[in-house]
Structure 1
């Protein structure tokens, strides 16, 4: 089925422990896929890009391992524009039509949009049923599929409606990355670089050294990058499952990035809008520049971060045409803020991120104006 020697696992502890499995051809491994399923009902949620590639494979593997399973499927249009309350409602309707009981399981087969939407539906159906994350993008393998944050977007902002709902398992089939467009691979690598930036200078240096291997999608380097990123996230999530403190560090660059994404309108992936990983890359540079402006960090570290992101083919400046005042207004809606005051993840330099309360809005605006 799959080469056991190439399989990596990461244990996530805490109140609801689970295992992240990382390796090739895991979407064909029926025994592994079926192991977390406690009942008879499975709903596969996917999108119209991923479903034609992998949904029949997952369904066949599940039914071969557990012939009595009743497997339904919901397919949504690909892209951030589908992460809506309407499509959440469609997932709830699909669970109802399946007759899903309290021991049902939702399989999220796709990238971060599918993972967030399917996880939120699982959190809400009958006040919570099981969810298994089957991430098919690098971004979702290292970030959104781990930790149980689920949500949908509304016009006022990203991820403002959601729930914490840890998965029963995360199964990351690295073979799926072979079908990923180069732009999506780079977007995932932005989140990988983030882990080096917030807490692991040696990993940051390794990413600089292994850039060509990672951009080529070499199996060994890619699996190592995914595993290391998941280990970092797992350690943080275990200590802070509901983002009361340390977990906020995982959002380096995200407050700026989400503001950019929201202001440009969650555009379809084929247009000129930045995708999530690209927006986070820009956001990390803005956070580093703000840190330097506030006297927290050396400006040289901002230059080092920007150079690495650009070497990976990622953007580092705000797209033309976005109004700094409008971006600041979006940032005021960020969930990390307290009592209407900006609370941002900034850094002391590479590998030393921290949460800073009550950040001066005038300094933020200066950075947004460039």
Structure 2
């Protein structure tokens, strides 16, 4: 593995752009290669990559009225209970069906009745219980859009990422979040659930390290617009040309919230009292490979060919379904992040400040070790330096 710096040159202020190009080609004919595509060499035969952006279409037959009393109260019914807990407080609502409008709005989750979609996050429930819930949802409101969070589990009987759970609401799911990976094959479990024809947003994360990802894992999501891996998810293996056939994909972020662990490393290096212990070497190695390893060259080329996948987007900018808005891309414009290497110990003590320093799409110098300092090597979003050709 080596860095190819043939495209890095000093400025010639007295030359026109055309004459500068001619001069560079005469000095090094290989420079013309960089002019054409600025891409890396790849280790596998390229698949067909769609280079023309397909505008997304919205033709979902979902209801756009606010939730009914029955839809809102479903999570509080004993048979389908999914009582939210926050900071140790259990938000029960025994009188939900008979409550007045003012009593509903006074409940901590009362404002959700104004939504035009059902937002269902039912943590740690068994597959059997979750299937009862989705059957009730599908039977009550077959045309109501649904966002749902499912948790991975090593015990197959408790695993809610399963076709039995999703079948009653298969056509209603517009957002799927899969959390707490107990195995590296969580995306394969999602694929095994079967097709999700109207899914717009797929989110994965929380303690998900060393994932093994296959191209087929996303083939059942033809409408997906946003794919986000959060909470410092790392990838051990990713089949070449994964994501390249998702014609409606508009946002792809595989390192969202990586700042959390980079901050852990930074405060440790600075001896900060909040340091939560050293990060394992494998975390940095897996993160480095996405940016610098030969096997991921196809992925970096894919992002260069489709720069809109890592562009800043506001919530609802891509698509809305009633009051549901596709989330923001969580990416800031180039140059808006401070140089993290200049952060002082006092800066690191300011948690609100550091969260605005690291961009979720990193620019890494592959000639250096991957650590929290080596995250902003360039002034634009990139997964590598220009013309970084590798011998595979």
What TM-score, normalized by structure 1, do the two folds share? 0.28
TM-score by length of 2: 0.27
More strand by share: 1
Q: Where is the helix percentage greater, Structure 1 or Structure 2?
A: 1
Greater gyration radius:
2
